[in-house]
């Protein structure tokens, strides 16, 4: 049997399905669903919508994360696994926006790893800088700055992460970031939404602070407009040269507020 005779064309499949009863089509789809993980992902997204997408991204993110920060044992840092995860996701979602999100998550995990260890395997380092470059190139292809606005803080916090000198990684990231055409594009636009901004390295530092202290910090941020200490809302957590920085809004007046938390504080 050669390939031509064994594999039906989309056209043939369509005409065959056309002849089937509804029950037969249902059975056919259920069998297909059971057969492949990709199909399961694809159908889950179609059926569950936005919530389903989040859950699926989480699944794929976990797979990537496990290569860097496994629950037990040593990190494996297998580029092949990360690449496979990425391409499976791409095939299953057929959505470049979602793939961009997963690429971003990978870049964040990788930069956190390098930040903490001061090193990474050369091939994973290369794949990380290639991915970062690809994200930038994709944003540059966009016709508007919408997507850029969504990712700009996360992209910036990756390039600003300290301790990434190994394999020329920092220089490479800076090179990619410097060609991001939207930088400076929206300086006059104050409507920045920080809520979706997460830097994993920064998040880790934040979570290392005892819960009680974190609550005290959240409820004690200076608001220039209210002229008093207020509660910070909808904040992002990013790395700063001397520690981490919370950026959000005042719970009283909605004005932008910032709180820097220095290391060993």
Please tell me whether residue 225 binds Zn ion under the rule CB under 5 A.
yes
- When binding is defined by CB under 5 A, the residue of 53, 158, 237, 250 that contacts Zn ion is 250
- When binding is defined by CB under 5 A, the residue of 126, 150, 252, 256 that contacts Zn ion is 252
Angle 156-160-162 (CA atoms, 0-180°, nearest 5)? 155
Quick note: the x/- pattern for Zn ion over 87-126, rule CB under 5 A, is ----------------------------------------
Rounded to whole angstroms, the Cα distance separating 60 from 67 reads: 12
Q: Which is nearer to Zn ion, 45 or 250 (CB)?
A: 250
- Reported in sequence order, the residue ranges of the chain that DSSP labels E, i.e. its strands, are 221-223, 228-230, 232-240, 243-250, 256-262
Residues forming beta bridges with residue 237, ordered by sequence position: 198, 246
Is the separation of the CB atoms in 108 and 154 below 8 Å? yes
Residues forming beta bridges with residue 257, ordered by sequence position: 248
Backbone conformation region of residue 197, classed left if phi is above 0, alpha if psi is from -120 to 50, else beta? beta
Would you tell me how many other CB atoms lie within 10 Å of the CB of residue 232?
23
Chain Cα centroid distance, residue 260:
24
- Among the listed ranges 3-11, 17-25, 50-58, 217-225, the one in contact with Zn ion (CB under 5 A) is 217-225
Q: Which is nearer to Zn ion, 207 or 253 (CB)?
A: 253
Closest residue to Zn ion, based on beta-carbon distance: 250
- When binding is defined by CB under 5 A, the residue of 209, 226, 233, 258 that contacts Zn ion is 226
Please tell me whether residue 233 binds Zn ion under the rule CB under 5 A.
no
Provide the minimum distance between the beta carbon of 223 and Zn ion in the complex, in angstroms, as a whole number.
3
Please tell me whether residue 242 binds Zn ion under the rule CB under 5 A.
no
Query: Which residues are near Zn ion by CB under 5 A?
Result: 223, 225-226, 250, 252-253, 255
């Amino acid at each position: 049997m050669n390939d031509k005779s064994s594999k039906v064309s989309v056209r043939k499949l369509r005409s065959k399905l056309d002849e089937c009863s509804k029950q037969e089509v249902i059975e056919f789809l259920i069998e297909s669903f059971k057969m492949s993980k990709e199909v399961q992902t694809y159908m889950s997204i179609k059926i569950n919508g936005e919530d389903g997408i989040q859950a699926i991204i989480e699944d794929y993110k976990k797979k990537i994360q496990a290569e860097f920060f496994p629950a037990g044992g040593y990190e494996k840092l297998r580029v092949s696994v990360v690449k496979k995860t990425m391409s499976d996701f791409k095939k299953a979602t057929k959505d470049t926006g979602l793939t961009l999100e997963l690429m971003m998550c990978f870049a964040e995990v990788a930069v956190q790893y390098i930040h903490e260890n001061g090193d990474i395997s050369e091939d994973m380092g290369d794949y990380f800088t290639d991915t970062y470059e690809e994200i930038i190139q994709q944003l540059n292809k966009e016709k508007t700055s919408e997507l850029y606005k969504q990712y700009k803080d996360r992209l910036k916090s990756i390039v600003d992460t300290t301790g990434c000198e190994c394999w020329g990684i920092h220089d490479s990231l800076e090179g990619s970031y410097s060609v991001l055409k939207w930088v400076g594009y929206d300086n006059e636009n104050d409507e920045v939404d920080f809520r979706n901004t997460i830097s994993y390295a920064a998040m880790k530092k934040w979570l290392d602070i005892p819960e009680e202290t974190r609550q005290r910090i959240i409820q004690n941020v200076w608001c220039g407009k209210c002229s008093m200490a207020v509660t910070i809302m909808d904040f992002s957590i990013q790395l700063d040269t001397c520690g981490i920085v919370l950026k959000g809004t005042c719970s009283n007046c909605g004005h932008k507020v910032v709180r820097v938390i220095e290391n060993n504080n």
